[in-house]
Amino acid sequence: MSLPKTILIIGATSGIGYALAEAYLQAGWRVAATGRRYELLQQLQRLQPDRVHIRQHDVTAANSLAVLEELLAESGPADVVVYNSGVGLANKKLDFDIDKKTIDVNVVGFVEVATWAYQYFRERGGGQFVGVSSIASLRGGRAAPAYHASKAFISNYMEGMRQKARHHRMPFYVTDIRPGYVHTPMTEKNAGMYWVAPSDKAARQIMAAIERKARVAYITKRWALVALAFRLIPRGWHERQ
């Protein structure tokens, strides 16, 4: 009897990450989950103690990769790695210290995990890396410039990873998840949101995108229409908003 597949979800304590872990557990997978709030990871583990392995983890810490390797030594090798950690901080006064917090998680932390995952799957002969970007990756935004820029960085970096895997003739799949508004602790205080998806619905669509090895997936699907509109908006009009 073959062992169930394993998904490593980095940033699984709430919102999309937690809901995605639940969805994969229901599908019979093993889940290796990380996050900063250990009590929420324990809550996840109580759902299926025999198939959930957890570690408290900070993507900005010096031992970030050592924690991931220790976790996979316990859970078994990962078939899919998901980078769901993210920070979205408003920065109306353009304060560097605020932007640095965003960059440390969304750019530096992401790249460290992404390069590690690439080498990990190259040694194993293939796998899949999933990065949670955003609809915000498509244009700049005055309320949180670093957030928009960091999400664009994630999307472009993953495109480069995809090209590199093709060049190396490696069966390595890269999926760029671009959510619109999803009900999570990070978005619950935002005003003016529309088409807000519950996290479990978002998780189901993300799972489907991972299964079909999609290059890019908008969550929920209707946000592909917004993405098209964003691309068509004239630059001058957008910058006046």
pLDDT at 164 over 70: yes
Averaged pLDDT for residues 172-183: 91
Looking at residue 30, what is its pLDDT?
97
pLDDT higher for 222 or 102? 102
DSSP string covering 93-135: T--HHHHHHHHIIIIIIHHHHHHHHHHHHHHHT-EEEEEE--G
Q: pLDDT tens digits for 185-194? A: 655 566 556 6
Q: How far apart are CA 144 and CA 98, in angstroms?
A: 10
Q: What class, spelled out in words, does domain 6-239 have in CATH? A: alpha beta
Residue 240 is predicted with a pLDDT of: 65
More confident: 231 or 137: 137
Mean pLDDT of 87-107: 95
State the average pLDDT over residues 47-59.
97
Residue 163 CA from chain centroid, whole number: 20
Tell me the average pLDDT of the chain.
Answer: 91
147 is catalytic: yes
**Residues 78 and 118 sit within 8 Å (Cβ to Cβ):** no
Residue environment code for 215-235, b if the CB has 16+ CB neighbours within 10 A, otherwise e: ebbbbbeebbebbeeeeeeee
pLDDT at residue 185, as a whole number = 60
Measured at the CA of 164, the angle between CA 162 and CA 166, to 5 degrees, comes to 70
- Return the pLDDT at 57: 97
For residue 141, pLDDT over 60 is answered with yes
Q: Tell me which of 147, 157, 173, 218 is the catalytic residue.
A: 147
